[in-house]
């Protein structure tokens, strides 16, 4: 009997598989939609991939028969120069998702705890569960939906090994301040780290006050930074992310890494995209303009929203989230709903001006 062979540990059976934003082709197939379907569900760059990243791919096509550089040498050099950190302070992953799993595999053990905001990016809990560690969830503040940093500091115990803060936060777009970082660091027990997940940092990079993980890492504080090429750089399909930390921490994270975890095309495109300044500026401007466009639209519809610094915004439609999600889907617009945590809200990725306008039109139609 197959079922008798499937007795697995609690760590596996308790895992809840990640629910990604619905792919465009799946929605077209399921709903029989012939026209254009737009996906504003996974915080990808609506302008597409970095042109410099794509141009760099031509040169590697003849070498695709070879394994990629497992050490990501060229990409490591490029990131190390851009962030002004030493090359051995970096670890690369198949998306920052993989680096989150490496954190769990390398640093967490049975009986350990992680502290997170609630709701937050679900992979932190998945990494903890896989390692047999417990996830302590601290609700976000009710109105602004920010991390409740004082409550998180109070939830830290001697069992805490990792405190995860996405900054800007997913799913709300809120940020924590420099003083908040200090508060969390002051509360850490000797064996713990603060993980600042900066998947969306490129959207706030112009703000000199924004707390960057690298500042604390360079000063020797127990901080680990996470970044990705999936958001502003427009390379989600290539799956490249990385972690920044003290070299001793990186050595430990490297232990469970599989030898060729970052594919060749991703390494090459990411290194080129990092210095695609025109595209970076264009993407930031599209995002800032798009936030203003959506907020103006929400105001016209009399809806409240959560202030955001990321490339998505949470709007309170006042109607059940799942029903609104389905109604928008029928009109060819894929957004994200979290009915358990945010019962009347939707999270919408900032699109192009045309996509934002189409979303606002559809939203209005679904509300009436
Ligand atoms: C906060 C946060 N961290 C990490 C990731 C993972 O990014 P990736 O694995 O594509 O690098 C995401 C993706 O949505 C995210 O929102």
- Distance (angstroms) between ligand 1 centre and the Cα of 34 equals 30
Higher pLDDT, 284 or 23: 284
For the chain, percent of residues with pLDDT exceeding 90 = 89
Report how many domains make up the chain: 2
Same domain? For 72 and 217 the reply is yes
Q: pLDDT for 259-306, tens place per residue?
A: 999 999 999 999 999 999 999 999 999 999 999 999 999 999 999 999
Chain centre distance of CA 353: 23
The whole-model pTM stands at 0.96
Alpha-carbon distance of 327 to 367, in angstroms, equals: 9
Residue 145 domain flag: yes
Does 101 share its domain with 158? yes
When pLDDT is cut at 50, 70 and 90, the band that residue 33 belongs to is confident
One domain for residues 229 and 311: no
58/42 same-domain check: no
Packing angle, helices 123-130 and 96-107, rounded to 10:
30
Q: Whose CA is nearest to atom 12 of ligand 1?
A: 199
The pLDDT-based confidence of 205 (bands split at 50, 70, 90) is confident
Q: At what angle do helices 24-31 and 321-330 cross, to 10 degrees?
A: 80
Contacts of 292 (CB under 8 A, 6+ apart): none
Is residue 64 included in any domain, yes or no? yes
Residues 32 and 144 in one domain: no
Ligand 1: atom nearest CA of 241 is 11
Q: Of 254, 273, 292, which one is at a domain's C-terminal end?
A: 273
Q: CATH number for the domain including 357?
A: 3.90.1150.10
Question: What are the E-state strand segments in the chain?
Answer: 38-39, 90-93, 113-118, 134-139, 160-166, 193-197, 223-228, 241-244, 304-306, 312-316, 333-334, 345-349
What would the mean pLDDT of 242-271 be, rounded to a whole number? 97
204-213, 230-239, 242-251: least confident range: 204-213
Task: Determine contact, residues 245/95, Cβ cutoff 8 Å.
Answer: no
Is 80 exceeded by the pLDDT of residue 20? no
Q: Are 74 and 147 found together in one domain? A: yes
Confidence of residue 125 (pLDDT cuts 50, 70, 90): very high
pLDDT band at 12 (very low <50, low <70, confident <90, very high): confident
Number of other CB atoms surrounding residue 351 within 10 Å: 25
On the question of pLDDT at 8 being above 80, the answer is no
Same domain, 101 and 136: yes
* Alpha-carbon gap, residue 130 to 125, rounded angstroms: 9
- The residue out of 273, 298, 318 marking a domain boundary is 273
Same domain (yes/no): 20, 150: no
**Residue at 2 is within a domain:** no
Place of tokens 């905001």: 117
> Is the same domain home to 225 and 293?
no
Does residue 310 line the site of ligand 1, with CB under 6 A? no
The domain boundary residue, chosen from 222, 244, 273: 273
Question: What is the domain extent for residue 38?
Answer: 7-48+277-367
| Residue 78: strand, helix, or coil | helix
Does one domain contain both 17 and 112?
no
pLDDT at 360: 98
**Ligand 1 atom nearest 228 alpha carbon:** 11
The rounded Å distance from CA 5 to ligand 1 centre is 34
Instruction: Please check whether residue 1 lies inside any domain of the structure.
Output: no
Assess if residue 184 is contained within a domain.
yes
> Which residues pair with residue 39 across a beta bridge?
334
Average pLDDT score over the chain = 95
pLDDT of 18 strictly over 90: no
Backbone angles phi, psi at 101, to 5 degrees: -65, -35
Secondary structure class of 33 (helix, strand, coil): coil
In a domain, 251, yes or no: yes
CATH number at residue 211: 3.40.640.10
Q: What is the mean pLDDT of residues 104-108?
A: 97
Shared-domain flag, residues 17 and 61: no
Mutate to test the pocket of ligand 1, among 39, 91, 95, 140 (most ligand atoms within 8 A of CB): 95
Nearest CA to ligand 1 atom 2: 199
Q: Are residues 333 and 191 in the same domain?
A: no
Protein residue whose Cα sits closest to atom 16 of ligand 1: 170
* Residue 2: per-residue pLDDT: 80
Residue 12, domain member (yes or no): yes
């Amino acid at each position: 009997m197959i079922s008798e062979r499937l007795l697995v540990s609690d760590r596996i059976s308790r895992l809840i598989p990640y629910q990604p934003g619905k792919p465009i082709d799946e929605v077209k197939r399921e709903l029989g939609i012939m026209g254009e379907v737009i996906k504003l569900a996974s915080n990808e760059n609506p302008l597409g991939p970095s042109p410099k990243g794509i141009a760099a791919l031509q040169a590697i096509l003849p070498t695709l028969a070879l394994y990629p550089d497992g050490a990501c040498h060229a990409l490591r050099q490029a990131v190390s120069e851009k962030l002004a950190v030493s090359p051995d302070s970096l670890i690369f992953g198949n998306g920052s998702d993989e680096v989150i799993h490496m954190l769990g595999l390398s640093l967490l053990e049975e009986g350990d705890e992680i502290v997170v905001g609630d709701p937050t990016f679900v992979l932190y809990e998945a990494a903890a569960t896989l390692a047999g560690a417990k996830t302590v969830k601290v609700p976000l503040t009710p109105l602004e939906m920010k991390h409740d940093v004082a409550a998180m500091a109070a939830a830290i115990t001697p069992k805490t090994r990792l405190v995860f803060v996405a900054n800007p936060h997913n799913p709300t777009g809120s940020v924590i301040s420099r003083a908040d970082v200090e508060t969390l660091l002051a509360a850490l027990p000797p064996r713990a780290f603060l993980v600042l997940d900066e998947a969306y940092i490129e959207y706030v990079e112009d703000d000199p006050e924004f707390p960057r993980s690298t500042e604390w890492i360079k000063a020797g504080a127990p901080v680990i930074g996470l970044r990705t090429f999936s958001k502003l750089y427009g390379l989600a399909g290539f799956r490249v992310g990385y972690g920044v930390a003290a070299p001793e921490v990186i050595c430990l994270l490297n232990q469970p890494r599989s030898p060729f975890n970052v594919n060749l095309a991703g390494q090459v495109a990411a290194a080129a995209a990092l210095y695609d300044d025109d595209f970076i500026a264009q993407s930031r401007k599209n995002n800032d303009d798009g936030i203003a466009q959506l907020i103006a639209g929400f105001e016209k519809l009399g809806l409240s929203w959560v202030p955001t610094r990321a490339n998505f915004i949470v709007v309170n439609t006042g109607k059940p989230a799942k029903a609104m999600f389905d109604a928008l889907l029928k009109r060819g617009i894929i957004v994200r709903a979290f009915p358990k945590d945010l019962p009347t809200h939707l999270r919408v990725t900032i699109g192009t001006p045309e996509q934002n306008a189409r979303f606002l039109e559809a939203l209005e139609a679904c509300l009436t």
